[in-house]
């Protein structure tokens, strides 16, 4: 059995931009996985709809493009659904059985499949075909299913009153994702996913091909040693120009055991006893996340592990240019605001992919400061038509005791992963004003 559980939101420290206590709306969150039987029916329908051959081929192509082994930490945040689908398809191709959701990637994939099939069943054949094309485009190397999944999350509670949806941008119509009509008013809704790489000085499109190309070039030279190579990148570089030169310099640093300094890249090498590292963390191939947290230089960097039982190599790509995350997020808000008609109340939904659990808590100062600044931007005078901003993050899987028993079950915890902020100066208020 698998349970999902949620709680109503409680306000974190009040954002100064609102002046008075924030207005929160707390709509009921709905379970996205109805039952095991319904999930199996949805999965079979999903496979038949896309065809197992096309789904397997698309996932294989996607896996090659995101390089799950080299950039596991980042790729599983950006492409959680694709990684989960890959795991499910691998098991399904052999056993024709669905695996129990032991990690968030598999759970997110199941949730996506079930909600996607619910939407598909509600659509006429022509529109269902448009949805199919969107799903397949999300599986392309330059696509991402998280964007579609956010739209499905928004649609799911709206589906209880399907006649209220008078505009459906999910299928490619211009304008916001949804225009909902009811109780004498129309409300526009636009959703945007914000990737953990947003604002990074080095793009995923640069790092992925760089790390994929090393092969045997970083192993076999230093037995019984844990090798760390720090590669400091001074500026942002286009993929085509940077990758070959960077790869050559990193391999030279490894082969010579010497630091190398060039105008664009500085590479430094250091050595530790492999036995000491494995004694503390265990085998490298099973504990790369812990090692990355221990030996990385700074946040916003990238890590790559290679080697075998006799040697471990950790390559740390470190950008020296400052991150521009907040500026990029403000640009996303500005662009999303242009999707609205500006003549109706609007809800802007921002989903933060890969947000660490500690930042989802209501008292994380860094998170609250970021929300303050983004609300200030979203609720500026020129965007007073935005009545509510929603911040959401991924649910997490936890162990939970079932009521009346000591048995632990796996649960999807969505508490504190959705926050609703009302604009105190909205041109079209959707909530009651806060008390004086």
- Flag whether pLDDT at 405 surpasses 90: no
For residue 262, CA distances in Å to 241, 246, 249, 296 come to: 15, 10, 9, 22
The owner of tokens 């945040």 is 77
- Flag whether pLDDT at 298 surpasses 70: no
What's the pLDDT tens digit per position in 199-216?
A: 566 766 677 777 776 766
In the sheet that holds 260-261, the strands lie side by side as 260-261, 265-273, 225-233, 311-319, 302-308
Of 410, 170, 200, the residue nearest 300 (C-alpha): 200
For residues 412 and 410, give the distance between their C-alpha atoms in angstroms, rounded to a whole number: 7
CB burial readout 26-50, b (16+ within 10 A) else e: eeebebbbeeeeebeebbebbbebb
Label residue 152 by pLDDT band (50, 70, 90).
very high
For the residues 46-54, what does the mean pLDDT come to? Answer: 95
Element (H, E) at 373: helix 365-378
Q: What is the pLDDT of residue 28?
A: 35
For residues 413 and 171, give the distance between their C-alpha atoms in angstroms, rounded to a whole number: 30
Of 317, 289, 286, the residue nearest 301 (C-alpha): 317
Helix, strand, coil share (%) of the chain residues, nearest 5: 45, 20, 35
Q: What is the pLDDT of residue 199?
A: 57
Of 287, 357, 292, 315, the residue nearest 74 (C-alpha): 292
Element (H, E) at 401: strand 396-401
What's the pLDDT tens digit per position in 87-116?
A: 999 999 988 888 777 778 888 899 899 999
For residues 316 and 299, give the distance between their C-alpha atoms in angstroms, rounded to a whole number: 11
> Is-contact 81 145, C-beta < 8 A?
yes
Of 114, 43, 103, the residue nearest 77 (C-alpha): 103
What's the pLDDT tens digit per position in 300-358?
A: 677 777 777 788 888 888 887 766 777 888 999 999 999 999 999 999 999 988 766 55
Give one DSSP letter per residue of 27-55, joined into a string: PPPPPS---HHHHHHHHHHHHHHH-HHHH
- Whole-number average pLDDT of the chain: 78
CB burial readout 218-245, b (16+ within 10 A) else e: bbeebeebbbbbbbbbeeebeeeebbee
How many residues are listed for the chain in this entry? Answer: 436
- Flag whether pLDDT at 27 surpasses 50: no
Label residue 15 by pLDDT band (50, 70, 90).
very low
């Amino acid at each position: 059995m698998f349970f999902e559980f949620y709680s109503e939101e409680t306000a974190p420290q009040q954002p100064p931009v609102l002046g008075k206590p924030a207005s929160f709306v707390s709509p009921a969150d709905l379970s996205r996985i109805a039952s095991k039987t319904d999930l199996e029916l949805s999965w079979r329908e999903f496979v038949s709809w896309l065809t197992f051959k096309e789904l397997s081929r698309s996932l294989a192509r996607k896996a090659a493009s995101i390089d799950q082994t080299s950039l596991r930490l980042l790729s599983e945040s950006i492409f959680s659904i694709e990684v989960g689908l890959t795991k499910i398809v691998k098991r399904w191709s052999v056993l024709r059985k669905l695996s129990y959701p032991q990690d968030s990637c598999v759970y997110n994939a199941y949730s996506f499949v079930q909600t996607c099939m619910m939407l598909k069943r509600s659509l006429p054949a022509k529109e269902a075909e448009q949805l199919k094309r969107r799903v397949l485009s999300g599986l392309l190397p330059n696509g991402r299913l998280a964007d579609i999944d956010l739209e499905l999350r928004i649609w799911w509670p709206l589906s209880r009153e399907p006649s209220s949806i008078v505009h459906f941008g999910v299928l490619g119509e211009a304008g916001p994702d949804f225009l909902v009509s009811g109780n004498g008013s129309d409300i526009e809704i636009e959703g945007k996913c914000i990737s953990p790489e947003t604002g990074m000085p080095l793009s995923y499109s640069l790092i992925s091909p760089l790390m994929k190309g090393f092969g045997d070039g970083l192993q076999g030279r230093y037995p019984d040693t844990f090798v760390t190579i720090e590669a400091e990148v001074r500026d942002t570089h286009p993929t085509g120009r940077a990758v070959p030169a960077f790869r050559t310099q990193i391999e030279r640093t490894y082969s010579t055991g010497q630091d190398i300094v060039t105008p664009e890249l500085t590479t430094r090498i250091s050595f530790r006893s492999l036995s000491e590292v494995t004694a503390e963390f265990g085998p490298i191939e099973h504990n790369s996340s812990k090692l990355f947290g221990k030996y990385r230089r700074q946040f916003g960097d990238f890590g790559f592990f290679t080697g075998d039982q006799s040697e471990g190599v950790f390559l740390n790509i470190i950008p020296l240019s400052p991150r521009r995350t907040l500026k990029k997020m403000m640009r996303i808000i500005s662009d999303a605001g242009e999707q609205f008609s500006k003549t109706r109340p609007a809800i802007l939904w921002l989903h933060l992919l890969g947000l660490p659990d500690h930042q989802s808590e209501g008292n994380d100062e860094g998170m609250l400061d970021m929300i303050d600044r983004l609300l200030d931007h979203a609720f500026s005078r020129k965007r007073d038509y935005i009545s509510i901003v929603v911040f959401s993050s991924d649910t997490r899987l936890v162990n939970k005791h079932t009521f009346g028993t000591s048995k632990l079950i796996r649960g999807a915890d969505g508490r504190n992963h959705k926050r609703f902020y009302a604009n105190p100066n909205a041109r079209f208020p959707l909530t009651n004003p806060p008390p004086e």
